[in-house]
Amino acid sequence: MNPTTLTILVLYYSRHGATRKLAELIAQGVESVPGVEARLRTVPAVSTVSEAVEPDIPRAGAPYVELQDLAECAGLALGSPTRFGNMAAAMKYFLDGTAADWLAGTLSGKPAVVFASTGSLHGGQEATLLSMMIPLLHHGMLVMGLPYTHPELMNTASGGSPYGATHWAGIDGDKPVTEDEKRLAIALGRRLAEAAAKLQLPLQTQPHGPR
């Protein structure tokens, strides 16, 4: 990796692959910005059965996230399927374990976006996005959404929200990502990467004129 390259952490949980598809599109948008790369990571599932364990390496998709990924990233995209209008337990479990990073200010001042998928069209997409924003605000992150300069927000008949990218996956998870959803996810990743790059610019020396 080039030491001058900025890393954006695209962190998601995906049970059946729908949220993973969004994550990959957001990563595509991130990497459309010169000098910025995406680091795709996931979190292990949690279980009510204490003996249940996940493999050290996921069977498919991105590697599991490590706390070092938070320290090394210049920005964060956080994604989850909805669970009754909230983020999935696996993502909440991971975030609950970041108290040391909260105390250290590891994520403070870094830009962040959120994304989600649902089985039904009105399945709590925006509530889930808002639920993911709350811990990011506590971490001091600069949370961003999508502006209505993207016409897809007005025209979409599937997913898409000013709070973040979304995908209507269908009850069986068999609905493909629509063109509107795709464009909005890529735009969200690009917007995040551009913000991270601007925040890394050195402060300009202020002129010492009359006050």
Tokens of 27: 């990563």
pLDDT given at position 55: 61
- With tokens 């990502």, the residue in question is 177
Burial of 79 (0-12, 13-18, 19+ CB in 10 A): buried
Report phi then psi at 204, rounded to 5: -75, 140
How many other β-carbons are positioned within 10 Å of the β-carbon of residue 123? 20
Mean pLDDT along residues 106-129? 96
Find, among 4, 26, 189, the residue nearest to 111 by Cα: 189
User: Tens digits of per-residue pLDDT, 140-169?
Assistant: 999 999 999 999 999 999 999 999 999 999
**Three-state DSSP class for 168?**
strand
| Residues 86 and 127: beta-carbon distance below 8 Å | yes
User: Tens digits of per-residue pLDDT, 16-61?
Assistant: 889 999 999 999 999 999 999 999 999 998 866 655 456 666 666 7
Find, among 79, 83, 141, 91, the residue nearest to 115 by Cα: 79
For residue 119, pLDDT beyond 90 = yes
| Residues 13 and 80: beta-carbon distance below 8 Å | yes
**Three-state DSSP class for 40?**
strand
